């Protein structure tokens, strides 16, 4: 949850650093105690007004948020490319996806929140109502600076909740751009408040009786701390804590194409995605050719400027420290007996470039078997049959997503049915869309965002009974 340049107690902990060059782009102080109280008070006051506006009016404002994402796509994409190294084409895709998310909840939200009639005993009329609960705290990560915010904020604004948003310390310019966009869309003052809070202040905000819930996307360690504080204060919490998703290839009629698709998926956001295919599980008959093609793909790439979007290049990781951390994980695995087929080397200088790696021979005795490798590393496992593939896929403390590929869709579906994950996919890396619920099980967290389920996490599902 912290940037590589922040220090405990540092009033300039929020720093925007270009990971391609190491250049400091902007610095911002953490909030004062008075600013924290003002933010929560503003959100609480706004809730009293925002909740009483008809849901159709709230949805119209949310629709305007989505429209502004499209109108400002160039500006917004450039910010995250500079601030966390996202390739410019992917940055533009992220902004467009945010527009889709806000549009989806603006359009579908009123229906999803409508009263739900249920059978009542002895006559009368009973309905389940979905009512807003109040001020929510969002604690967001750096890897998708807009998308992670959108999937939390959009449904909750439609529902009638208000938001205090604590963004990652390394994404302050992204955070401020979002604050301006929300205000320009017509949200009332306090309905969405950006706050450069410290970790100690986050604990205070969660404990504040005016705050009714907290959503965090981040590390396992951060999630455990937030959940502990929330539990102590009897607050609802939603956690998305990463994963080590299995990507099972049972067979293929074009192994090279299958490997290319797997590699492209792994390189998305330079490997810095919670639901990336971090463990490729491939049957023995196609394993060697699959690994050979992955290796060829990795060796063909050279470091590039993420703002240029040149072909056959790779972008930096979010920070130099992040790149050094993944490189150390690779070295540790190799020292323990794994085989490095390509990449894994750090570029010289202040940039955060790590050559895309292909790693095999990882065994349960190695740290890399259990750890999440949050970077451009394709780890490949050989299995003999479907049963071995499934056992390996589920042998992880995480349970976010997973994918199974086969020329026989029914065979793939049978395996996918047994995945211990919040999202299981057949012959697709993921089912991406504003209407597709996102979330996991086990140490990947709990709760769901997006889709119909995204409307239901922070609402009072109230029973209203009217007797005859």
Active site residue 274: yes
As a whole number of angstroms, the distance between CA 372 and CA 342 comes to 19
CB 447 within 8 A of CB 237: yes
CB 342 within 8 A of CB 295: yes
As a whole number of angstroms, the distance between CA 350 and CA 160 comes to 45
Of residues 82, 274, 420, 449, which has the active-site annotation? 274
As a whole number of angstroms, the distance between CA 268 and CA 276 comes to 8
DSSP code string of 80-92: HHHHH---HHHHH
CB 320 within 8 A of CB 19: yes
Q: Please state, in angstroms and as integers, the Cα–Cα distance from residue 175 to each residue in 76, 222, 398, following that order.
A: 11, 20, 29
Q: Which residues pair with 402 in a beta bridge?
A: 424
As a whole number of angstroms, the distance between CA 49 and CA 37 comes to 19
Phi, psi of 122 (to 5 degrees): 70, 30
CB 131 within 8 A of CB 462: yes
DSSP secondary structure code for residue 360 in this structure = E
Element (DSSP H or E) covering residue 134:
none
CB 145 within 8 A of CB 80: yes
CB 196 within 8 A of CB 16: no
Active site residue 240: yes
Q: How far is CA 177 from the centre of its chain?
A: 19
Phi, psi of 462 (to 5 degrees): -90, 140
- Name, in order, each residue with C-beta under 8 angstroms of 118's C-beta and a sequence gap of 6 or more: 126, 127, 128
Closest CA to 371 of 359, 383, 387: 359
**How big is the chain by its Cα radius of gyration, in Å?**
23
Of residues 90, 240, 430, 457, which has the active-site annotation? 240
Structure tokens at 328: 């150390």
Catalytic residues, by residue number, are 240, 274
């Amino acid at each position: 949850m912290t940037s590589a340049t922040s220090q405990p107690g540092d009033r300039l902990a929020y720093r925007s650093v270009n990971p391609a060059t190491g250049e400091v782009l902007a610095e911002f102080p953490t909030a004062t105690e008075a600013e924290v109280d003002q933010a929560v008070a503003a959100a609480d006051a706004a809730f009293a007004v925002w909740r009483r506006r008809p849901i159709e009016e709230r949805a119209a404002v949310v629709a305007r948020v989505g429209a502004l994402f499209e109108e400002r796509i160039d500006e917004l994409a450039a910010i995250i490319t500079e601030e966390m190294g996202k390739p410019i084409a992917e940055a533009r895709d992220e902004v467009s996806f945010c527009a889709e998310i806000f549009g989806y909840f603006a359009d579908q939200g009123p229906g999803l929140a409508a009263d739900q009639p249920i059978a009542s005993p002895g006559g009368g009329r009973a309905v389940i109502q979905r009512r807003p609960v109040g001020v929510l705290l969002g604690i967001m990560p750096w890897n998708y600076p807009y998308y992670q915010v959108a999937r939390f904020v959009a449904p909750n604004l439609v529902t009638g909740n208000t938001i205090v948003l604590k963004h990652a310390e390394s994404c302050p310019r992204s955070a401020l751009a979002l604050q301006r966009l929300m205000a320009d869309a017509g949200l009332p003052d306090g309905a969405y408040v950006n706050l450069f809070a410290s970790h100690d202040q986050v604990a205070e905000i969660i404990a504040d009786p005016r705050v009714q819930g907290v959503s965090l996307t981040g590390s396992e360690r951060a999630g455990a701390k937030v959940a502990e504080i929330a539990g102590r204060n009897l607050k609802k919490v939603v956690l998305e804590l990463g994963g080590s998703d299995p990507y099972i290839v049972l067979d293929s009629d074009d192994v090279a194409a299958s490997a290319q698709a797997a590699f492209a998926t792994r390189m998305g956001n330079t490997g810095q995605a919670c639901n990336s295919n971090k463990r490729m599980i491939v049957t023995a008959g196609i394993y060697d050719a699959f690994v050979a093609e992955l290796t060829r793909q990795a060796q063909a790439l050279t470091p590039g400027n993420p703002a240029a979007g040149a072909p056959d290049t790779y972008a930096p990781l979010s920070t130099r420290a992040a790149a050094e951390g993944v490189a150390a994980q690779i070295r540790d695995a190799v020292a323990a007996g794994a085989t490095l087929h390509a990449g894994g080397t750090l570029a010289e200088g202040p940039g955060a470039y790590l050559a895309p790696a292909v790693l095999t021979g990882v065994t349960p005795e190695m740290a890399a078997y259990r750890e999440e490798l949050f970077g451009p590393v394709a780890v490949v496992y050989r299995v003999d049959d479907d049963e071995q593939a499934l056992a390996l896929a589920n042998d992880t403390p995480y349970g976010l997503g997973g994918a199974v590929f086969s020329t026989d869709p029914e065979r793939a579906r049978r395996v996918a049915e047994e995945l211990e994950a919040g999202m299981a996919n057949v012959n697709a890396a993921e089912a991406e869309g504003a209407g597709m619920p996102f979330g996991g099980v086990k140490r990947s967290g709990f709760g769901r965002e997006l889709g119909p389920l995204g409307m239901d996490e922070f609402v009072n599902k109230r029973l209203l009974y009217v007797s005859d």
